[in-house]
Structure 1
Amino acid sequence: MPPMTVPASGLTNRRADRASNAIPRGSFRPDIEGLRAVAVLVVVLFHANTPGVEGGFVGVDVFFVISGFLVTGILWREAAAADTVGLIRFYGARARRLLPAAGVVVVATAIGAATLLPPLQARQVLGDGIASALYAGNYRLALRGTDYLAGDTLPSPFQHFWSLGVEEQFYLLWPVLIAVTAWFARRRRIGSAAVSPYLIVLAAVAALSFTISLIWTRTLPPWAYFSLPTRAWELGIGGMIALSAGAWSRLPKAVGAPAGWIGLAVIVAACTQLNGKTPYPGTAALLPILGTALVIISGCGETRFGVGRGLALPAMRAIGRVSYSWYLWHWPVLLLAPRVLGHQLGRGGSMAAVTMAGGLAMLTLWLVENPVRFAAPLRGSAARSLACGGAITAVAGGVALMLLVLAPVPVGRGAAAAALTLATAAPSAAPSTDSRDATVRQLTEQAQAAVAASAEIQAVPSNLTPSLADAPGDKAGVFVDGCVRSWREVGQPECASGDPDSATTVALVGDSHAAMWHPAFEPIAAQRHWRLETMAKVTCPLLDLPITSPYLGREYTECEQWRGQILTRLRAERPRLIVVSMSRRYGADFGFVSYDQAWVDSLNHLVGQLRATGAAVLVLGSIPDPHTTVPVCLSEHIDNAAACTPARPVAVNDAGIADEQAATTAAGGQYADLTPLFCTAARCPLIIGDNLVYRDDNHLTVSYARTLGPVIAALADRALANG
């Protein structure tokens, strides 16, 4: 995050002298430089997975308060002295200070990503680099985080640039607000030294921002975390301290000294007590903000035994001086180092990586930051400073764009694979139970033969469907038309397909793993003249289990409410067949574990409830877990698909499937073990025939779901007949 130095030279005109009665003259604050060191250290330790610093992300909040304090002080002193703000001069100084180091890191990270990352991931990261160069990466992340379908996206080496985006947007807007306030005060003939108009405006902005933050933390967590509207209050708190610094400087030493130590203790408490499950920012952000405010307030006065003495130690100030560059370098080094070394970093490796990033930060400070920042031709001209900043931004964004254009789109180079088509002989006029079983067996055997033939595929076929580049977007329409309910949505709109006017209803119910089967069921429903109702909600199995959402960081009340609504609706609508499907990747973070006894018992109870509606019940077994983001992995191993293929014991829980089958059968339902459609006895290939099986790390492509349509149809027919 950008350090900032308040000019040592005071204002000399009469207005400035009056202003200094309200706000102390601009002077260097060594304690704030040391506080910046605290902020960067906790962020770096957090990203290095250091035990005990699970809340180290609050270091960014500390930076925000510091920036708000320093920027507001600079701007108000200028407004008080000249009744206006020199916007061009301010923007030029910010460009000279911030853009050179950021530009160097953007270029270096873009080159590293293009060189080291799998092609598909590299293209995504280079897009992040362009957004980061333009300081809009925070909104790109907010949009991506809002899309639950992007939940499997790998971390980006540019992800940490979100906070720079927030600050740059603040730097762009806040001077204009100060200038407008100065103009209003001048029109109202309010004394130029009066801070009240600025305090009122800033307090109003901070109050509105805090309110939005509280609401969005619950309803739109990614936007709450990454956007300026929800973070502006943190910068505003620093600004209000700057506007009232004169009053704080008169605090008794007996109050000021302990306040600073308490503030530091509160920051430490936030780092150690908060964690990734804490809804954030919300009210939790008050901890680091309050702590930082107390430390800054304490330093406004002379306190012999205050925390500022410790923060001003040479070692702390040295870290504070490189904090901006260290923040920029540490995250890409942490993410790209494993690609260089060929293995994951352990705790020691992570510490070595951030230490190396610290070395790069010092070089950047000496060779880039300071030379540009103190260059006389630039310091003497705001226009030249802005031109320099614009050129740096253009070069950084241009390099990322050029690499994106040059980055190869991964395309299979192997021999074209034969298309997989499952088919049976025409059914008899009066099919029997035995004939239906025979149809399921026949289709399953065809699929098994294709799986076996594909198990040893090396080069990705040239006719892969969908292509690796198109795979992430290869999802059923129900994921984007509101049929699949997102985290905070409850209720279920009418999502009828097939033959919507039919009297025979088939309900496809569950989480996103139910919805991914919609492309298989939709043509079946059209052929059989069924009304297909899709009822699905993300990470919400229909099982009656207490559930916590790691995404929301709290009890998943929306899921519990949705389950009740769906069961009520099923009892009212009484479909002929209810097909239940869900992911089996639920772990302790959700409050239960797939296949454990509570899961199996709940499945037995659910099937009994659904059977009581009069419907036949078909439970679809799990699909294998590939344990990798499949398109990305294959893009890196375009000539050796087997390198990404999981062994069956890793991908499939045979014991859990057997337990589920027994529980389903005992409750009167029917269970479909789907493993033979995906795996041999040894492996679970990721390409079957010409089909890419997965579009991400756990969902089927539309193509493979449709390919399996005939066997799914046979399973549904058998369930209806036996129900």
Structure 2
Amino acid sequence: MSDPTKALGRPAYRPDIDGLRALAVVPVLLFHAHVAGFGGGFVGVDIFFVISGYLITGIIAREIDADNFSIIKFYERRARRILPALFAVVAFVLIAGSWLYLPGDFEGVPRSALAALGFLANVWFFMQAGYFQSSAETMPLLHTWSLGVEEQFYIVFPLILMLIAKFAPRLRLAAVVALAFLSFAWAVSKQADSDGFAFYLLPPRAWELMFGALLALGAIPQIRNQFARELLSFAGLAAIVASTLLYTKDTVFPGVTALPPVVGAALLIHCGPQTAVSKLLAMRAPVAIGLISYSLYLWHWPLIVLTEYAQDEKLSEVQSIVIVSLSFAIAWLSWRFIEGPFRNHSNFERRRIFAWSVGGMAALSAASLVLVSLGGWPARFTEQSVRYAEGVHDISPARDACLNDQIGGARPECNLGAEVAPTSLLWGDSHGVELAWVLGEQMKVKGRSLAQRTHASCPPALGYEAPSRKTCAEFNRAVMTELEANPDIKTVYLTAFWASDNYRNSRVASQLPQTIERLQQAGKSVILIGPVPPQGFQVPRRLAMRGPEIETASRASYLAKTNWLTRKFTAWQQTGVQIIDPADQLVQGETTIIVADGQPLYFDSHHLSVAGAKRVLAGGSQL
């Protein structure tokens, strides 16, 4: 049998690799469309990286070895492959965003378009938001981060291979192995960080592309035994399927957890094409999806994001089916009428493809810059809609400085109010930030100050282990130690997102009473700020788009989410705990209140705005 995986021989067309592209793009699509069971669908991007590294490195290495590699020719191929469909998607997003997006959300659209056009989207989104954060769901070009990683890699990697070929040709394989190892080590060292560095940026992602590159360079010996090939290809498929089905947005990723999809893709490439799995991938349907996979990847995310933005809620099951189907239809049209013609050399010879590329990039960049100059372009909306939309900015000026989001221990000296030693301390998660600011302003008038100790996703309950914040327990221990060591702090405010499923379904119900008891034993007066009714939609956006006459969360749903805590209020009050119940100000009859005096009381779906915090703390009787 001939060797189908020989590193640098001119390869025959591999339909199974097109099928592997389908195995990569479909989980991504279903994950983004909220289809149940595909919580790890994001690993499809990692599969794409392996495929890209394998195919493109094979081309580069063959041409370098034949002494006919041309950077110009290489980038001509990249331009034909990448730019036409990307230009179409960027133009669509700019037009749709100009029509649909509210000022605060629109500001980022043309900026992200510029980043996507410059293949710096991964850097831009790293600086803006995490991939799994709620704010990412309003970014219609978020998915172009992967193009940024890939194109940055192909700016550097061909040059590295050329230099190695000129000065140390025998060290090519060893050099790529070393670079891949360093990249992987970097990814592992950063995998637990929540800042997005390991997810978005090239250095900790390059090893995935180099994994495919090593296949192309012959780093892995040929597997001649057919049974072993069959077994390994099945193992590769199982690794991909398992990570797709078992991973979730809470999985620490990438890093070690990226190994199963990456190794799985490498095994399928290396052991094909004459295995049962590769023959399955080479069937007509997977190959057809693989051929349109690039357009499908580009188009599906803007369709999902724009639809959800327009209705201000997640896709329903029926809508998911419609959007998935529409994505396939548009992807085929894009492949047939945009990708195809530009790949045809008879339609666009080299000079013309570069002219179109430069012209398209210049036109779209100019349009983006004009839109950037307009700010959020508020003139598109009524003054009241703009005021509602600006509610997203009604946050504590000290939010960034005083909210512990990544590291352990209490933040150093985050005091609010008068410039005196604090006699009170607010301890909680991100729900406490705006409350702390308002308390600080109230105390400033009285010549007093408040210490703020807040950690995202971390309730003030000793012993709580946050699934997404590994430093929570350490933070809480540090705050308690600080309180017990400081007799000048007489009053402690406890607050958190008590309606959170994570808190309700964990041991917080038993940990919180123990924490309160320990504070009282330390001589502290305890004030518990109760639960804020979550709304399930972005309040400023919903108000701006639909006005104040909208349906809000019901009293019944609020009680169902918070009864585990509120039923303890009476017993706690009997022990001296003072209760500030937001329901007194935010629940009216059988519904909840989200706006007062023309101001949103939330800056998102469940965090109080400063206006909301003022309403909850009105009167200052708790001081």
Give yes or no for TM over 0.5. Answer: yes
- Tell me, in whole angstroms, the C-alpha distance in 2 between the residues paired with 1:24 and 1:60: 27
Residue 140 (structure 1) aligned with residue 124 (structure 2)? yes
**Deviation digits for residues 13-48 of structure 1 (CA, Å, limit 9, x no counterpart):** xxxxxxx99621244222212221222222223333
- Look up the equivalent residue of 1:213 and give its one-letter code: A
- Counterpart Cα distance in 1 of 2:314 and 2:612: 32
Q: Deviations over 1:433-476 (max 9, x none)?
A: xxxxxxxxxxxxxxxxxxxxxxxxxx66x8xxxx4454333332
Shift in CA distance, 391/664, structure 1 to aligned 2, threshold 3 Å: farther
Equivalent residue number for residue 190 of structure 2: 216
Find the aligned partners of 2:582 and 2:308 in 1 and give their Cα distance: 36
TM (normalized to structure 1)?
A: 0.78
Q: 1:332 aligns with which of 299, 302, 305?
A: 302
Return the alpha-carbon distance in structure 2 between the equivalents of residues 343 and 559 of structure 1.
30
1:635 is displaced (CA, Å) by 2.1
| Deviation at residue 250 of structure 1 after TM alignment | 6.6
1:641 aligns with 2:548: yes
Residues 589-608 of structure 1 correspond to what in structure 2 (within 5 A)?
A: 590=502, 592-593=503-504, 599-608=508-517
Contact 1:209 1:233 (8 Å CA) reproduced: yes
Q: Which letter does structure 2 place at the counterpart of 1:218?
A: A
User: Do the aligned partners of 1:298 and 1:306 also contact (CA within 8 Å) in 2?
Assistant: no
Q: Which residue identity does 1:78 align to in structure 2?
A: E
Q: Does 1:58 align with 2:43?
A: yes
Conserved in 1, the CA contact under 8 Å of 2:430 and 2:456? Answer: yes
| Displacement of 1:343 | 8.1
1:628 to 514, 534, 537: 537
Structure 2 partner of 1:86: 70
1:398 deviates by: 4.1
For the aligned residue pairs, the C-alpha RMSD in angstroms reads: 3.2
Structure 1 residues 316 and 627, CA gap change in structure 2 (3 angstroms):
closer
Q: Deviations over 1:520-549 (max 9, x none)?
A: 222333333334211111111112353332
Which of the residues 403, 413, 420 maps onto 1:494? 413
Q: Deviations over 1:575-594 (max 9, x none)?
A: 1211222222321xx3x318
Q: Which amino acid aligns with 2:461?
A: L
1:431 match: none
Question: In the aligned structure 1, how far is the partner of 2:380 from the partner of 2:463?
Answer: 43
Q: Distance in 1 between matches of 2:263 and 2:131?
A: 32
Q: 1 CA distance for matches of 2:617 and 2:440?
A: 9
Structure 2 length-normalised TM: 0.89
How many angstroms apart in 2 are the aligned matches of 1:491 and 1:341?
A: 40
Match status 1:265 vs 2:238:
yes
Computing the radius of gyration from Cα coordinates, the structure with the larger value is 1
- The residue number in structure 2 matching 1:174 is 157
Cα deviation, residue 106, structure 1: 1.9
Name the SS of the counterpart of 1:533 in structure 2. Answer: strand
What is the match of residue 46 of structure 1? Answer: 31
Question: What CA deviation, in whole Å up to 9, does each residue of 1:623-658 have, x standing for no partner?
Answer: 332332122112212xx2222654544556685664
Q: Report the CA distance between 1:162 and its aligned residue.
A: 1.9
Report which stretch shifted further, 682-691 or 399-408: 399-408
SS at match of 1:230: coil
Cα distance change, pair 375–518 in 1 and its aligned pair in 2 (3 A): same
Distance 1:314 1:538 in 2: 48
| Aligned residues of 2:129 and 2:135 also touching (Cα < 8 A) | no
Kindly state the Cα deviation for residue 249 of structure 1 after the two structures are TM-superposed: 4.7
Maintained 8 Å contact 1:23/1:242: yes
2:581 to 636, 653, 673: 673
- 1:284 shift after superposition: 1.4
Residue type at the aligned position of 2:517: G
Whether 1:409 aligns to 2:328 is: no
Give the aligned residue type for 1:33: D
- Say whether the 8 Å CA contact 1:633–1:644 is kept in structure 2: no
State the SS of the aligned residue for 1:37.
helix
Looking at structure 2, the residues matched to 524 and 475 of structure 1 have their Cα atoms a distance apart, in angstroms, of: 16
| Larger CA deviation: 335-344 vs 258-267 | 335-344
Structure 2: where are the runs of 5+ without partners?
Answer: none
Aligned 8 A contact 2:34 2:315 in 1: no
By how many angstroms is 1:374 displaced?
1.0
Contact persistence 2:64–2:165 (CA under 8 A): yes
Q: In structure 1, how many angstroms separate the alpha carbons of the residues matched to 2:310 and 2:71?
A: 44
Matches within 5 A, 1:456-605: 467-468=387-388, 470-481=390-401, 483-502=402-421, 505-544=423-462, 546-549=464-467, 552=468, 556-574=469-487, 575-587=489-501, 590=502, 592-593=503-504, 599-605=508-514
Deviation of the 1:119 alpha carbon: 5.2
Q: Which residue of 2 aligns with 1:376?
A: 346
Deviation at 1:224, TM superposition (A): 1.6
Match of 1:31 in 2: 16
Superposed, 1:54-203 pairs within 5 Å as: 54-82=39-67, 85-118=69-102, 120-145=104-129, 151-152=134-135, 154-185=137-168, 190=169, 196-203=170-177
What pairs with 1:228-267 in structure 2 (closer than 5 Å)?
A: 228-244=202-218, 248-249=221-222, 251-267=224-240
Residues 73-106 of structure 1: per-residue CA shift (max 9 Å, x gap): 1111121122x74212211210111100111122
Alpha-carbon separation, structure 2, partners of 1:484 and 1:71: 44
User: Do the aligned partners of 1:634 and 1:644 also contact (CA within 8 Å) in 2?
Assistant: no
Q: Kindly state the Cα deviation for residue 235 of structure 1 after the two structures are TM-superposed.
A: 0.2
- Contact kept in structure 2, 1:678 and 1:684, CA below 8 Å: yes
